[in-house]
């Protein structure tokens, strides 16, 4: 059984509310007063809409936080690189301390995971 998308679920609820509202007299004549159910469905849909909006805000906030983190890291890396240039100017490009510092940028990728036999 295929599951419905969020938009299809929202559309179903909206359409059902409209159909029940349009056919309230018929349903009442058949012994079902839809007033309570309509109020419940409308409240549930409003809550779903509000929480969806909250979810969108959270996604936007996460993207903003990621951007800020990347920018902060880039600034720190730029400052660290400038410090290496300063040290290079002070000690000379062939100094052993500088050569060790420059090795920090050269990282080896991790080995591939072992396949269990």
Residue 110, pLDDT above cutoff 80: no
pLDDT tens column, 22-48: 999 999 999 999 999 999 999 999 999
52-101 confidence digits (pLDDT tens): 999 999 999 999 999 999 999 999 999 999 999 999 999 998 999 999 99
DSSP 12: H
**Residue 87 contacts by C-beta under 8 Å, 6 or more apart in sequence?**
97, 98, 101
Q: From the CA atom positions of the chain, what is the Rg in Å?
A: 31
Q: What is the pTM of this model?
A: 0.59
Domain boundaries, the chain: 34-103
Query: What value, to the nearest 5°, has the Cα angle with vertex 113 and ends 112 and 117?
Result: 125
């Amino acid at each position: 059984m295929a599951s419905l998308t969020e938009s299809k679920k929202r559309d179903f609820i909206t359409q059902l509310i409209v159909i029940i509202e349009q056919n309230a007299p018929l349903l009442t004549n058949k012994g079902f007063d839809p007033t309570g159910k309509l109020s419940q469905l409308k409240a549930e849909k409003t809550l779903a809409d509000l929480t969806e909006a909250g979810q969108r805000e959270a996604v936007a906030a996460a993207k903003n936080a990621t951007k800020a983190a990347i920018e902060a890291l880039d600034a720190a890396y730029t400052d660290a690189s400038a410090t290496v240039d300063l040290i290079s100017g002070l000690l000379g490009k062939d100094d052993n301390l500088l050569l060790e510092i420059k090795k920090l940028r050269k990282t080896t990728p991790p080995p591939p995971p072992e396949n269990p036999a």
